[in-house]
Structure 1
C-alpha cells in the first residue's frame, strides 16, 4: 500500500472516502456489500503501475463514506449522482469503471444514464440487470416463505438485522466471506428455515488465515463496519424495488460502451440470480461486448480469492 493516498471529499452531499494511486487514464473500482475499497487492495497497485490513475471509493453508506439512514436515499438517481460527482471532483470527464455486486450495478446505471462519462466497463460476476416483471423484494419475500433468504431478512427486519450484524461484525464478515468463496456452496444457506438470522444461516469456518484472507485483512473490514454499522449497506437492499422501478425505463436497452466480463465458475450470482446461461445473453444487454473470461476455482469475491488471475485479466482488458 506504499504510495496510496487516502482522500476525503464532499460529494453529492456525502463525506466520501477514496483511495488513489497512479497517473494516467482513470480507472474507478466499485465494491459491493459487505465490502469496502480494501477489496481492491490486490488490483490498485498493479493497475497504477501499468500507467493508470486508480481510484477506489467507499460506496454510499459503507466503509468511511457517510450514508443517510433513509433507504430511499439509495436509489439509482442518488448513486449515479455519487459517481458523476466523483468524476467532477477528480477533474475527469470519463473513466473505465469496474465493479462487483452493487458496485457494478452502479456502473451499469451510470453507463445507461451518462455513457459519455464511461470509457469502458469491466464487469466482475454480475453480467447485467436481470429483467423481471416482479420486483426483487417481492421475489425475496416469496422465497422467504419456504426457506431463509438474506434479502428478505435485511428488508423484513429493519433495526433487528442491523443490530444482529453490528453485535457480531467479525463473526458475520468471517462467515459470509467464507460462504461466498469456492470452498462453500452458498446456496446451502437456503436449507435453513424461515425466521433464521443471517449469522445462524451461515456456515462455520476453518480458522484464519485462509489462502486468500489473513486475520489482519479481515480486521480492516471489521474495523470499518464496527465504526459505521451495517445500516448503510443494508439500505442498498432496501432500495432494490426503487432501483427496479428506475430501471424499467431502460431495461430493454443495451449499454453502448466497450464491455468486458470476468466471471468465476463457482459464483453464486451467476448460478442463481441471472437466469439460465447468462453468458450466452450478454449481447442482449450490452451492445459492444469485447471479451469474456471465466476463472476456475473461485467464488464470488474473485478479486481477493484469485487476485493474480483477476488482476492479470483486468490489465489485459485495459491494454
Structure 2
C-alpha cells in the first residue's frame, strides 16, 4: 500500500480518480460492479514490482469518478472515450489491459475500435461478448417473469437505487459472499419475481473471511455510501445500447494478444456465456496466447485467490509467451 499514489484528472468531462504505482510498460486494471479500484489491491504492488507502471481507475460513475445520471451516457463510445482519454492523460500510446466484468468489456470494445492502443488483454472470468439475437434487458425481463433476475431488478431507475443506498453494507457483504466459491450464486434465481436483490441474497458468516476483512469491506461501503449506486447501475441500464452498438463488429475477433484467467466456480462462466465457453475462445480472439483456470474460486477471484490470480497475470506479463 505504501507505493500507491492517488491521482485525479479531468477526462472526457468526468472527474476521474485512479491509483498508480511503478514505472515501465503500462498496465491498466479495469473493474466491474460493484467494485472500485481497490478490487485490484492484491495485484497493483506485485505487478509494479515486476517492472510495470500500474494504473487502476475508478470507472465511470463508481468510486471517486463522477458519472452522469442519464444511462445513455454509459454507452460504448463514451466508455471507450474514457479509456482512450485516460491513456492520453497518462501520456501512453498503449497499455496492457486487465479487466473483469464491465471493465473487461470496455477493454474488448477498445480493442475493436483502437487496436493500436491495446498491447494485450488479460481477461478475468468474462471470455467474450456472448452473441445473442435478443437484447440483454429483454432477456432479463423474460427471465424475471419466472424468478428473480438481478439485471431486470437494476434496469428501471428508482427502486434499486434507493434499496441499495439504504443498506450498502448489507448489500455489498451479501453480494461479495454470494459471488464467492462459498456459495452457488445461481441459487438467487430460486427467489420469486418481485424479490429485492438484498432479500434474494444469502446471509453470510461473520467477517473476517479468508479473503475479506471488515476493514476491506469498509472501502467499498464508504465509496458507495458517498457516490450512491446509480452510476454503477447505469452500466446495466445501457446494456441494450451497448448490445446494439456492438453489432457493428459482431463476428469479428479481438485482434490483440489475449490471455484468459477463469475460475472453476464462476457464475458468469456457468450461466452467461453459453455451453463450454472455453472451447469457443479462439472464435472470439484472433491471438489467444494462454488459458488458466483457478480452482476453488468464484467470481471474486482476484480477491478470493489473490496469489494465484496475481501469479497468472505476472506469468502472462513476463513469461516466455508474454504479450510483447
Aligned to 1:53: 53
1:170 maps onto 2:166 in alignment: no
Structure 1 residue runs without a partner (length 5+): none
Q: Match of 2:313, SS? A: helix
Report 1:253-272 matches (<5 A): 253-272=252-271
Deviation at 1:2, TM superposition (A): 0.1
1:35 maps onto 2:35 in alignment: yes
RMSD, aligned CA: 0.4
Report 1:59-98 matches (<5 A): 59-98=59-98
Report 1:199-214 matches (<5 A): 199-214=198-213
Q: Match of 2:207, SS? A: coil
Distance 2:119 2:181 in 1: 32
| CA displacement, residues 117-162 of structure 1 (integer Å, 9 cap, x when unaligned) | 0000000000000000110000000000000000000113x11110
Runs of 4+, deviation exceeding 2 Å = none
Distance 1:136 1:207 in 2: 35
With structure 1 as the length reference, what TM-score do the two structures score?
Answer: 0.99
Distance 1:25 1:97 in 2: 11
Aligned to 1:312: 311
Q: Match of 2:208, SS? A: coil
With structure 2 as the length reference, what TM-score do the two structures score?
Answer: 0.98
Q: Match of 1:209, SS? A: coil
1:218 maps onto 2:217 in alignment: yes
| CA displacement, residues 264-300 of structure 1 (integer Å, 9 cap, x when unaligned) | 0000000000000000000000000000000000000
Aligned to 1:127: 127
Structure 2 residue runs without a partner (length 5+): 319-324
Aligned to 1:138: 138
| CA displacement, residues 143-194 of structure 1 (integer Å, 9 cap, x when unaligned) | 00000000000113x1111000000000000000000000000000000000
